[in-house]
Amino acid sequence: MLKKHLKKIVSLVLVTMMAIGMSITAIAAEPYQNELEAVMDTSPADSGQVTHYDTTTGEMLVEDGELLTFDEVAIPVPKGSADTPSERGIEIYLVRAGIKKTSGGEFTWYFNVDCPTSPFVKPNIKLTAQLKGSFTTLSGSYSNVGGSVYHTYTSNSEYGVDYTWTVPAKTGYYYVAYTITDYDNATSGSGVTTTALSNRTGHAWNFNFSDSVSGKSLPMPPANYAKGATTTRPSNLADTYYNTYTANTGVTLNRSLYDVHHIRPLAYGGSNAYSNLIHLPKATHTQVTSWWAGYQRHPFQRNLTKIKSLISQQKSCRRTLLKVSSATFLDILLPC
């Protein structure tokens, strides 16, 4: 009888231990369910130069400049060796992130980190990054863009190296939230980047222009303009703008220095109203126009790689046909 009761007790204890173990495993795994390990990438970043085809003018627009890069974020993480928080030292982690490449309708994002406060032996840490995006306005609602990504650093050689992940390319306002877990000291810290607007080719909106006389300025645009023109540009638009400007301000602009720009482009539902126009320095206007060409990529740009591949294949086929034809011709002239 006693032996029977002991068996029941042992069985109950084993079942309880298994249940507790399963619960602990589930709790430990939960924070990592949506995480993706970032991929080491030592290749150089794209040059940032993109060619667009303007269907309105028939011109090729070249978009230059580096791809979006956030400002470096310094994240302090306390060391855990001292008895009291006031006696603990601080590790400073410098984290960088941005868009490294754009290809096939995807952004390849990267992060890398350094720890200048430990120049010889770097701490064992885990860096987790979560990309956030608003696809309306700067003050719009931000949500996760994909799951969080991470890398666990266990050697000095991993510091300063890019770790990457991909998400669909989309015009939007973006920022990255970081968390650093220091395994050596059982401490952590967090930080966020500034927010930046990127078009679909990965180029940031870095344009600033304001006119103190008229009060006009070039604003950051929403990220959700739909393609579709409702009107065309009249031939006398520049004359109308400059005359209205002078009538309103009493100042006559030097037209040779400026181009008249639609704040909301005609291609995205903008109008020719004076309130939707601004004069920009010519170089700035060229850059802004090129940025807008990448707002929603034209099919020509999306298929440019495919077109180049087809052309290359066609040239290869021609070379093969020439070789076959030459061989056949020689066989006829010089039969065995």
61: Cβ contacts below 8 Å, ≥ 6 apart: 51, 52, 53, 54, 289, 290, 293
According to DSSP, the β-strands at 163-168 and 39-40 are antiparallel
Q: What is the mean pLDDT of the chain?
A: 83
Segment 118-161, tens digit of pLDDT: 999 999 999 999 999 999 999 999 999 999 999 999 999 999 99
DSSP characters over 198-226: E-TTS-B-----B-TTT--B-PPPPS-PP
60: nearest Cα among 52, 70, 50: 52
Look up residue 269 and give its two tokens.
Answer: 């539902």
Task: Flag whether pLDDT at 78 surpasses 60.
Answer: yes
Q: Give me the mean pLDDT over the 55-68 stretch.
A: 72
Beta strands in 59-105 (DSSP E): 60-63, 73-78, 90-103
Look up residue 162 and give its two tokens.
Answer: 């890019």
Find out whether 271 and 236 touch, Cβ atoms under 8 Å.
Answer: no
Q: Regarding predicted confidence, which is higher, 264 or 327?
A: 264
Task: Flag whether pLDDT at 172 surpasses 60.
Answer: yes
Q: For the chain, what is the largest distance between any 2 Cα atoms, rounded to a whole number of angstroms?
A: 109
Task: Flag whether pLDDT at 5 surpasses 60.
Answer: no
Q: Is 211 exposed, middle or buried (0-12, 13-18, 19+ CB in 10 A)?
A: middle
In this predicted structure, what is the pLDDT of residue 302?
Answer: 44
In this predicted structure, what is the pLDDT of residue 301?
Answer: 45
285: Cβ contacts below 8 Å, ≥ 6 apart: 258, 259, 261
| Residue whose token pair is 């070379």 | 319
pLDDT cut 90: percent of the chain above it = 66
pLDDT band at residue 25, thresholds of 50, 70 and 90? very low
Find out whether 97 and 113 touch, Cβ atoms under 8 Å.
Answer: no
DSSP-derived secondary structure letter, 81: -
In this predicted structure, what is the pLDDT of residue 21?
Answer: 40
Calculated CA dihedral for residues 95, 96, 101, 105, nearest 10 degrees: 70
CA 85 to chain centre: 38
